[in-house]
Chain A
Amino acid sequence: MKKLWKPALAGALAVSVVSGCGGGSSDGEAAPPAPEDKTPVTIQYWHSHADAQLAGLDYMIKEFNKKYPWITVEPVFQGAYTDLQKKLLAAQAAKEVPAVANVEVSALPNFADSGVFMDLGPYIKRDKVDTNDFSKGMLKAYAYNDKQYGLPLIVSTSVFVYNKTMFDKEGVKPPQTWAEIDEFAKKLTQKNGNETTRYALSVPGWDTWYYDPWVVNGGGSILSADKKTATIDQPDSMKFMKKFKEWKDAGYMHIGYGKGASDVMRQMFYDGKIGMIQHTSALIKMYLENAKFEIGVSFLPGDKTRTSQIGGAGIAVMDLAPQNQKEAAWKFIEFMTSTEHNVKWAEYTGYLPTRKSAIDSEEGKTYFGKYPQYKAVFDNFDNVQPREQHPGYPEFSAFYKEALGKIVLENGEVEPLFKEAAKKMNDVLKDY
């Protein structure tokens, strides 16, 4: 008993000392001095890593423990991003939080605004983490109001995955611009009377993340520069939707919508009923493993610009956690995002390596040799941008998603529906 009691007391003292010094950390001025304290500490990591990524997580935690044997990490799966977000909200409301959690890009502004996440800036400075080693877009995605609240952990972007075997047979190449799509689609689409039996391409309608870059590439935007009004109903912003409708009506394009639509799209692709699908780069590995044909990957075709947006999740420290846990949590995210295991982690999870130094390393080169498909993503990496950052995004994005849904499912007209969506979005924006 005595043995257990002593370190516990020492730990408690250390904590109080540390938190005494760390008072300024929330102001972003100075981080607590690196404590050499090795008192055992346990931190909970709430995550959304699906079954396929768990082996990778196990590996990383084991490696972490070799380096920091006194820190125990308890990973807890809390469901998909939105479910995790709900759990975090509840935990914050109850003031009983885990030390580390995943955060999905679109939820960051709300959490950051309400002071849920710790500002990592002072720690980054203290431990001299070279943030320039991350791609700029990735880093910016987890910053809000000039403060770094998280680091990119599992990064993806949406790409076109195509059936290379089919493309070679038909003699087509993936379109690089919107203008090329018509001809490409005409060649690849197969019809039986009026009914399409093989679609040239498919775009997911179930998540705005997939078509936000289309809005941008058409020269449009979702919100005005001052983020006070919706611009989704401007001609350039609607351009993609009009194109989508044209292609859909011509029988070229399949657009999935609603729960379960992702399953349907994947299956149609496997069955050779769609030539090319827009999907997250995180699933490239899955397609490689499951498809019976050769898989190719192509960056999104562009119009006025050619960009794609960042997806996946970052990793952040909860501000309400006790100071000793925060310190351990920081060590954990530093480790999880470090160059050291970056490529290995990417290979395990199917997400992208995040560190330039890792990509340039020998290990990185081997990785690209093994998965040349990922090269298509990296060649365009400077064109991968953060998403629209606005605390109202989860609410107002539902309006133009619904407009798209009405066009897809009920053959609605683009302009009136997008005008209506913009009006509803403006109502929401008034609150911010």
Chain B
Amino acid sequence: MSSQPNTAAPKASPKKKPFFHYGRIEGLKDFSLALPAILFLLLFTYYPLVNSFYLSFTDWNLIKPIKKFVGFDNYTRILTDDRFYHVLKVTFLYTIIDVIVTLVLGLLLALLFNKQSKAYGVMRLFVFMPYYISMVIASIVFIWILNPKYGVLNSFLGTLGINPVQWLNDPKTALFSLIMVSVWKSVGFTMIIFIGGLRSIPLDYYEASSLDGANKFHQFWHITVPLLSPTTLFLVVTSFISSMQVFQSVDIMTGGGPLESTKVMVMWIYQMAFEEFRAGRSSALVVIFFLIIMAFTALQFAVSKKKVHYEG
């Protein structure tokens, strides 16, 4: 919080000097420290991506010895397939609702639980706990809780006079059920990060505005929200990316159904390669999907340039 964003580089101004000057050697030494990380990412993230790009022009099915080159066929087939737009819609629907609900709830919980006291500390512990739990287990527990006949949720709703809901078996509620699990698992984490953000807002802002006669609500909109915006941006971007990549809960809880109502992108990529024997086309989908996430992430940063207040 102590330096301006634009002057991030600490040793800002190396001047023109002979080739093997002190600064360059030092620079090489600095660079070598980043090298292991870069090598790992190149090897295990970027090389596979490039490989997918290559495979996306073939008809490979993972097991046949020869890959036939098919040009842009995989791309045109995907882009003219209704399913692609359906899957895209489902993925965005899931992501948008998930991100908004998690963030809004997370902020509300942060305001609620941001109190220095032992009781609140213990409660925070419990709210954060789902974040530790493996998605595999969270999914299985929710399958059980959401069981239409023996599930505790329907039993509870029954006492309120609500008819049993089919949850994961109904195309109208299945996606919502998945979002429920995701929110349950990550809202505590969002809360913790927002609390971190709230605590970094200097108290004198509030004091000053209190003297001006502003009420709590006014303070929330005019101090808390703007000053939290860097934290919010961080959360929007990271949860956008992870929501777009949702897979495990879908795989275990719905398998993409019923009626494709929860068929998200990664699920489709995976099914295409491993159930429909179309690794080549699935690679084309990987490439398209990567470009989509990248474009939207960049868009978020671009929009945020105007809206995010970096204080100090």
Residues of chain A whose beta carbon lies under 8 Å from any beta carbon of chain B: 82, 85-86, 89-90, 92-93, 110-111, 113-116, 257-261, 263-264, 267, 391, 394-395, 402, 405-406, 409-410
A402 interface neighbour in B260, B274, B278, Cβ under 8 Å:
B260
Interface residues of B in 160-198 (CB under 8 A from A): 168-171
Q: Is there an interface contact between A410 and B171, defined as CB atoms closer than 8 Å?
A: yes
Partner of A259 from the list B168, B275, B277 (CB cut-off 8 Å) is: B168
Least distance between A80 CB and chain B CB atoms (Å): 11
In contact, B63 and A409 (Cβ under 8 angstroms): no
**Cα distance A405–B263 when bound, in Å?**
15
Cα distance A113–B260 in the bound complex, in angstroms? 29
A259 near B63 (CB under 8 angstroms)? no
A93 to B274, CA, bound (A): 11
A257, B63: Cβ atoms closer than 8 Å = no
* Residues in B neighbouring A113, C-beta threshold 8 A: 64
Interface residues of B in 125-180 (CB under 8 A from A): 143, 147-150, 168-171
Q: Are A114 and B63 in contact (CB under 8 A)?
A: yes
What number of A-B contacts does a CB cutoff of 8 Å give?
73
**Chain B residues positioned under 8 Å from A263 (CB to CB):** 147
Interchain residue pairs with CB less than 8 A apart (13): A85-B274, A89-B62, A90-B274, A111-B63, A113-B64, A115-B64, A116-B63, A258-B169, A258-B258, A261-B169, A267-B150, A405-B259, A410-B259
Binary CB contact string for chain B from 201 to 215 against chain A (1 if under 8 A, 0 otherwise): 000000000000000
**Of the residues B61, B64, B168, B170, contact of A409 by C-beta under 8 Å:** B170
Distance between Cα atoms of A263 and B150 in the complex (Å): 11
- Distance (Å) between the CB of B94 and the closest chain A CB? 17
Contact (Cβ within 8 A) A85 B169: no
Q: How far is the CA of A111 from the CA of B253 in the complex (A)?
A: 28
Assess whether B26 is interfacial by the CB under 8 Å rule: no
The answer to whether B149 and A264 touch across the interface, beta carbons within 8 angstroms, is yes
Nearest chain A CB to B4's CB is how many angstroms away? 49
Chain B contributes a number of interface residues (CB within 8 A of A) equal to: 26
Q: Is the CB of B64 within 8 A of A395?
A: no
The 5 closest A-B pairs by CB, nearest first: A258-B258, A395-B276, A114-B64, A114-B63, A86-B274
A residues near B232, Cβ cutoff 8 Å: none
User: Is B255 close to A, CB under 8 A?
Assistant: yes
Using CB atoms, name the residue of chain B closest to A256: B169
Most buried by B among A114, A115, A260, A402: A260
> Are A264 and B259 closer than 8 Å at their CB atoms?
no
**Residues in B whose Cβ lies below 8 Å from that of A115:** 63-65
Of chain A, the residue at the smallest CB distance from B270 is A86
Distance (whole angstroms) from the CB of A164 to the closest CB of chain B? 24
Taken residue by residue from 250 to 293, chain B's Cβ proximity to chain A (1 for < 8 Å, 0 otherwise) reads as 00011101111000000000000011111000000000000000
A116–B274 Cα gap in the complex (Å)? Answer: 15
CB neighbours (8 Å) of B148 from chain A are 264
B274 pairs with A260, CB closer than 8 A: no
Given contacts A114-B63, A405-B258, A405-B259, 10 further A-B contacts (CB under 8 A): A93-B62, A110-B63, A110-B277, A114-B65, A258-B254, A258-B258, A259-B168, A259-B253, A409-B171, A410-B171
CA distance A110 to B278 in the complex (A): 11
On whether A85 and B275 interact (CB within 8 A), knowing A111-B63, A259-B254, the answer reads yes
Chain B residues in the interface with A (C-beta under 8 A) = 61-65, 143, 147-150, 168-171, 253-255, 257-260, 274-278
Q: In angstroms, how far is the closest chain A Cβ from the Cβ of B141?
A: 14
A257, A391, A402: which contacts B169 (Cβ < 8 A)?
A257
Partner of A394, one of B149, B168, B276: B276
Pairwise interchain contact B169-A394, C-beta atoms closer than 8 A: no
User: What residue of chain B has the Cβ atom nearest to residue A271's Cβ?
Assistant: B149
B276 touches A114 (CB 8 A): no
Q: How far is the CB of B254 from chain A (nearest CB, A)?
A: 6
Known A-B contacts A89-B63, A258-B169, A267-B149; A409 and B259 likewise in contact (beta carbons under 8 Å): yes
Bound-state CA distance A331–B283 (Å) is 39
Partner of B143, one of A111, A116, A257, A260: A260
Which residues from A are CB-within-8-Å of B65? 114-115
Which of these, B149, B150, B258, B277, contacts A257 with CB under 8 Å? B258
Closest to B259 in A: A405
Contact between chains at A395 and B278 (CB < 8 Å): yes
Chain A contacts for B257, CB-based, 8 A: 258-259, 405
Query: How distant is B270 from chain A, measured CB to nearest CB, in Å?
Result: 9
Complex Cα distance, B275 from A391, in Å, reads 11
Chain B residue contacts of A82, Cβ below 8 A: 275
The docked-state distance in angstroms from the alpha carbon of A93 to that of B65 is 9
User: How many angstroms from the CA of A93 to the CA of B170 in the assembled complex?
Assistant: 37
A258 — nearest CB in chain B belongs to which residue? B258
Residues of A near B168 (CB, < 8 A) are: 258-260
Cβ–Cβ < 8 Å partners of B259 in chain A: 402, 405-406, 409-410
Q: Taking the nearest CB of chain B, how far is it from the CB of A210, in angstroms?
A: 16
Q: Looking across the interface, which residue of chain A has its beta carbon closest to that of B174?
A: A258
Given contacts A260-B147, A402-B259, whether A394 and B275 have CB atoms under 8 Å apart is yes
Q: Which of B143, B258, B274 has the most CB of A within 10 A?
A: B258
- Which residues of B sit under 8 angstroms from A85, Cβ to Cβ? 274-275
Which residue of B has the minimal Cβ distance to A391? Answer: B277
Q: Which residue of B lies closest to A116 (CB)?
A: B63
Q: What distance in Å separates the Cβ of B75 from its nearest Cβ neighbour in chain A? A: 15
Kindly state the separation between the CA atoms of A257 and B166 in the bound complex, as whole angstroms: 11
* Residues of B contacting A257 in the complex (Cβ-Cβ under 8 angstroms): 169, 258
Measured CB to CB, the closest approach of chain A to B111, in angstroms, equals: 38
Least CB distance, A123 to chain B, in whole angstroms: 22
Q: Which residues from B are CB-within-8-Å of A90? A: 62, 274
CB distance from A103 to the nearest CB of B (A): 13
A410–B253 alpha-carbon span in the complex (Å): 21
User: Of residues A82, A89, A113, A394, which shows the largest number of chain B Cβ atoms within 10 Å of its Cβ?
Assistant: A89
By beta carbon, the residue of chain B nearest A87 is B274
Complex Cα gap A218–B135 (Å): 44
- With both beta carbons as reference points, the residue of chain A lying nearest to B82 in the complex is identified as A424
